């Protein structure tokens, strides 16, 4: 299968002195869900920002559909890549529906306005996440978790080929975390490629076919969830003991053990 995204020997530094990461290599095919785990401050969000073209690598390349990311203009990139940052504040009192409808912007020309098709796509995005009841609410007056769901709806309305999600479940209640992972799984079944960062190895077991652990300035391990989320790798990455348990024949769970 052809690679939709490829990162080759990527290195990045904010100040040209200390590298945040070096020699990062990974690739994504249509329908892949890659979960990036790793301790705080190891560069997961920075790498996601490089994949979105917001930051420029110091070394190496990022290819989107075999084209260098920096050869694509902003609008073309927005048609291919949807991105939800770790935190997002809006000071404008848009309605939830308008926020979701804004996801259609890359598909409209400078002079056109959203049409019936765009309205329908925005409605469907809200419905697929079970949040149609928020449609007429004011975005600045809903909870942090509700806002996170609305941003996911907006990025779904954008209909990208690649979805970059920086800790997509961080503000969500237990049920909405699992429902969001389920939506991600369904989108991937339809060919969307997803890269998400997470602090929950179990979320990778639930929704990913690839896992990478960022640690010590590079990708420490990459592969299937079963091969990467091991007791030894979790100890190396997080310096804690975990037990990997079989929930059933298709599912494992990562249980943290008390610190002795
Ligand atoms: N704008 C910036 N300027 C300078 N340094 C930064 C900037 N943003 C992040 N850093 C530094 O880069 C390193 C990696 O940060 P990053 O946010 O990518 O880590 P992370 O793995 O996503 O962390 P977390 O799991 O805590 O969200 C950290 O040491 C951080 O302090």
Q: Which residues pair with 100 in a beta bridge?
A: none
Quick one: tokens of 98?
């308008």
1 band by pLDDT with thresholds 50, 70 and 90: low
- Residue whose CA is at the smallest distance from ligand 1 atom 18: 43
pLDDT of residue 133: 97
Q: What is the mean pLDDT of residues 113-135?
A: 94
pLDDT at 121 over 90: yes
Which domains, ranges and CATH numbers included, belong to the chain? 3-256 (3.40.50.300)
How long, in residues, is the chain?
260
pLDDT at 6 over 90: yes
Instruction: Check pocket membership of 42 for ligand 1, CB cut-off 6 A.
Output: yes
171 band by pLDDT with thresholds 50, 70 and 90: confident
204 band by pLDDT with thresholds 50, 70 and 90: very high
Instruction: Check pocket membership of 14 for ligand 1, CB cut-off 6 A.
Output: yes
Instruction: Check pocket membership of 213 for ligand 1, CB cut-off 6 A.
Output: no
Tell me the pLDDT of the chain averaged across its residues: 93
**Burial category of 186 from C-beta neighbours within 10 Å (exposed 0-12, middle 13-18, buried 19 and up):** exposed
Mapped onto helix, strand or coil, the DSSP state of residue 107 is helix
Quick one: tokens of 251?
């599912």
- Residue whose CA is at the smallest distance from ligand 1 atom 28: 41
Instruction: Check pocket membership of 45 for ligand 1, CB cut-off 6 A.
Output: yes
Q: What is the CA radius of gyration of the chain?
A: 19
Instruction: Check pocket membership of 82 for ligand 1, CB cut-off 6 A.
Output: no
199 CA closest ligand 1 atom index: 25
- Residue whose CA is at the smallest distance from ligand 1 atom 5: 14
Q: What is the mean pLDDT of residues 178-187?
A: 88
**219 phi and psi angles, rounded to 5 deg:** -85, 115
**Burial category of 132 from C-beta neighbours within 10 Å (exposed 0-12, middle 13-18, buried 19 and up):** middle
Q: What is the mean pLDDT of residues 132-137?
A: 97
Report the candidate in 45, 62, 46 with the shortest Cα–Cα distance to residue 13.
Answer: 46
* CA of 225 relative to ligand 1 center, distance in Å: 25
**ipTM of the complex as predicted:** 0.98
CA 191 to chain centroid: 15
Q: How far is CA 131 from CA 60, 150, 191, in A?
A: 41, 8, 23
Report the candidate in 93, 83, 157 with the shortest Cα–Cα distance to residue 120.
Answer: 157
48 CA closest ligand 1 atom index: 18
- pLDDT tens string 228-253: 999 999 999 999 999 999 998 888 99
Percent of all residues in the chain with a pLDDT value above 70, rounded to a whole number: 99
Instruction: Check pocket membership of 38 for ligand 1, CB cut-off 6 A.
Output: yes
- pLDDT tens string 49-69: 999 999 999 999 999 999 999
């Amino acid at each position: 299968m052809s690679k939709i995204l490829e990162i080759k020997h990527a290195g990045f530094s904010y100040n040209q002195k200390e590298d945040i990461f070096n020699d990062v290599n990974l690739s994504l095919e249509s329908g892949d869900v890659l979960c990036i785990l790793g301790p705080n401050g190891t560069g997961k969000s920075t790498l996601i920002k490089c994949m979105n073209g917001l930051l420029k690598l110091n070394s190496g390349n990022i290819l989107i559909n075999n084209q260098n990311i920096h050869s694509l203009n902003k609008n073309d990139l927005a048609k291919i890549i949807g991105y939800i940052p770790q935190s997002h504040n809006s000071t404008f009192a848009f309605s939830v529906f308008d926020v979701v409808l804004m996801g259609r912007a890359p598909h409209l020309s400078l002079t056109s306005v959203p049409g019936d098709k765009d309205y329908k796509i925005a409605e469907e995005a809200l419905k697929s996440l079970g949040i149609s009841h928020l449609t007429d609410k004011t975005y600045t007056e809903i909870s942090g978790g509700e806002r996170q769901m609305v941003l996911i709806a907006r990025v779904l309305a954008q209909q990208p080929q690649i979805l970059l999600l920086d800790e997509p479940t961080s503000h969500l209640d237990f049920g909405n975390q699992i429902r969001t992972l389920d939506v991600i799984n369904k989108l991937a079944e339809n060919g969307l490629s997803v890269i998400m960062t997470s602090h929950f190895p179990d979320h990778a077991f639930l929704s990913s076919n690839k896992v990478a652990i960022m640690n010590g300035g590079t990708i420490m391990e990459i592969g299937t969830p079963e091969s990467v989320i091991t007791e030894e790798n979790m100890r190396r990455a997080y310096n804690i003991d975990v037990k990997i348990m079989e929930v059933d024949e298709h599912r494992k769970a990562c249980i943290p053990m008390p610190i002795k």
